[in-house]
Amino acid sequence: MGKVTVTIYMEEEDKEALQQLADAEERSLSQMAVLIVKRAIKKAQDDGTIRPKNS
**Per-residue pLDDT at 53:** 81
Nearest to 9 by CA among 40, 33, 45: 33
CA–CA dist 20, 4 (Å, integer): 24
CA–CA dist 41, 50 (Å, integer): 8
**Per-residue pLDDT at 55:** 61
List, for residues 1-55, the tens digit of each pLDDT value.
799 999 999 999 999 999 999 999 999 999 999 999 999 999 999 999 999 887 6
- Per the document, the length of the chain is 55
pTM above 0.75, yes or no: yes
Assign 3-state DSSP to the chain and report helix, strand, coil percentages, each to 5.
60, 0, 40
CA–CA dist 54, 49 (Å, integer): 15
